């Protein structure tokens, strides 16, 4: 009797477990799917067709070709262009930036460490809130691919100065 009862319930139980697992898989796939408005076909933009504009709320001279998202509202991907010799003093960003250098030499600095020069093909992650300096070598402009998990923002960090010595 027990064996018959197990055989009778085995199929419905296995069916429900399989259905639950498939439903979880579908939900996980939705969560990992690209952002709203994702492409249903190929997106092809030759470099000459990119639309360059100043980075909203960004440092002077920085240009951006937005690929997806909106850098003023949330997550986005863009190609950014920096003039030769451009640099930004110690600062932070409110979102994590993942960067791939396309051209030029990008200069990344962290407090207490030597600057790192990154050429084409180099990869860098700038975690949100981490203090760093950024720059483009004077030899040529820099282009980077940047993916951000939030809107663009930059906050300059005041370097603490030693107290002035009293005059004698």
* Residue ranges covered by each domain of the chain: 1-30, 51-156
Q: pLDDT tens per residue, the chain (168 residues)?
A: 545 544 554 444 433 334 443 444 444 343 333 344 567 999 999 999 999 999 998 889 999 999 999 999 999 999 999 999 999 999 999 999 999 999 999 999 999 999 999 999 999 999 999 999 999 999 999 999 999 999 999 999 986 655 555 555
Cα–Cα distance, 61 to 64 (Å, whole number):
10
Residue 123 region, left (φ>0) first, then alpha (ψ -120 to 50), else beta?
beta
**Which run of H or of E encompasses 117?**
strand 116-118
**With contact defined as beta carbons under 8 Å apart, do 144 and 102 qualify?**
yes
pLDDT at 123: 98
Predicted local confidence at residue 26, as pLDDT:
42
Question: What is residue 3's predicted lDDT score, i.e. its pLDDT?
Answer: 52
Phi, psi (deg, nearest 5) at residue 38: -60, 155
CB 141 within 8 A of CB 82: yes
Question: What is residue 57's predicted lDDT score, i.e. its pLDDT?
Answer: 87
- Which CATH architecture describes the domain 51-156? Sandwich (2.60)
The predicted pLDDT at position 166 comes to: 57
């Amino acid at each position: 009797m027990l064996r018959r009862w197990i055989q009778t319930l085995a199929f419905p139980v296995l069916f429900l477990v399989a259905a639950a697992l498939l439903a979880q898989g579908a939900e996980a796939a939705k969560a990992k799917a690209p952002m709203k408005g994702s492409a249903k076909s190929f997106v092809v933009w030759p470099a000459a067709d990119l639309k360059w504009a100043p980075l909203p709320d960004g440092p002077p001279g920085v240009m951006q070709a937005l690929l997806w998202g909106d850098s003023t509202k949330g997550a986005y991907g863009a190609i950014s262009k920096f003039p030769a010799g451009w640099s930004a003093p110690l600062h932070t960003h409110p979102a994590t930036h993942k960067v791939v250098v396309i051209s030029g030499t990008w200069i990344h600095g962290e407090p207490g460490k030597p600057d790192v020069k990154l050429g084409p093909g180099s990869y860098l992650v700038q975690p949100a809130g981490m203090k760093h300096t950024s720059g483009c070598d004077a030899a040529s402009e820099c282009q980077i691919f940047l993916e951000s998990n939030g809107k663009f923002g930059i906050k300059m960090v005041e370097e603490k100065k030693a107290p002035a010595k009293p005059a004698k």
